[in-house]
Amino acid sequence: MENKIKAASYVRVSTQAQVQEGESLATQKEQIQQFIASKGWELVKEYSDEGLSGAKSESRPGLQQLLKDAKEGMFSNVVFTKLSRFARNARDYQNISFELEKSGVQIVSIKEGLDKSTQTGRLIAGILALFAEWEHE
């Protein structure tokens, strides 16, 4: 029997405008489910934060639960549609990313195609985190 890669999803919207722009929680979930299925992975849990800014990770209960579950080894990948849904603050992004890596969890951004297993991927992810913070400000 083949062991599938276990993945979790994370979705977030902070404003009604994002919903109208096609970034609703349901739209994000659907995109992530399709992506995970296309990879042949197993979706083990979905996490969400609705109506919450991405600027401060400590104020997002869905993300905090994801981090706890990652430490318990529930999944090896966390998938989100794009980096700005995951973090809007470059320092938060770096801290969250570091915590997940310590737990053996890789982050996967569908739209940016992030691959943090490479030096270039880590550089691009850091730059994109800075852009997400700049857009937020």
Indicate which residues carry an active-site annotation.
14
Cα angle: 9, vertex 96, 59; to 5 degrees: 80
Inter-residue contact 27 to 38 (CB < 8 Å):
no
Q: What are phi and psi of 61, to 5 degrees?
A: -60, -35
Token digits of residue 16: 């009604």
